[in-house]
């Protein structure tokens, strides 16, 4: 009789453990689904921002080339002014001191 009672209570305990395990796994699954939903929404936001950034870069890109062209023209004008008859010679004075080598103390 003791053996039958032990088997009965072990069966009851196993059934309760199975129910707790099922509840716990269901809870974990719900948390994973919520996290995946958040990640999906975050990915969609990142895609929208990337598209806007891409459109901005496409809009600004021609302006960057125009700025580079303008910069080249300005450099040419400055070189002409430096090489022209009214150019001022560089100042005579101290030359740059030699860089100290940090590994060598000398």
Radius of gyration of the chain (CA): 39
Of the candidates 29, 33, 31, the one whose C-alpha atom is nearest the C-alpha of residue 21 is 29
Kindly report, residue by residue over 5-41, the tens digit of the pLDDT. Answer: 999 999 999 999 999 999 999 999 999 999 999 999 9
Tell the burial category of 89 from Cβ atoms under 10 Å away from its Cβ (0-12, 13-18, 19+): exposed
Kindly report, residue by residue over 53-83, the tens digit of the pLDDT. Answer: 988 887 777 666 677 777 788 888 888 888 7
Angle at 60 between CA 48 and CA 57, to 5 degrees: 30
């Amino acid at each position: 009789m003791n053996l039958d009672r032990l088997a009965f209570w072990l069966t009851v305990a196993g059934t309760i453990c199975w129910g707790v395990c099922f509840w716990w796994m269901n809870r974990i699954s719900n948390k994973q689904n919520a996290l995946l939903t958040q990640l999906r929404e975050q990915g969609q936001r990142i895609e929208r921002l990337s598209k806007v950034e891409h459109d901005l870069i496409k809009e600004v890109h021609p302006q960057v080339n125009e700025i580079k062209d303008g910069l080249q023209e300005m450099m040419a004008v400055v070189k002409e002014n430096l090489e022209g008859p009214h150019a001022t010679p560089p100042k005579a004075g101290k030359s740059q001191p030699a860089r100290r080598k940090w590994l060598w103390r000398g």
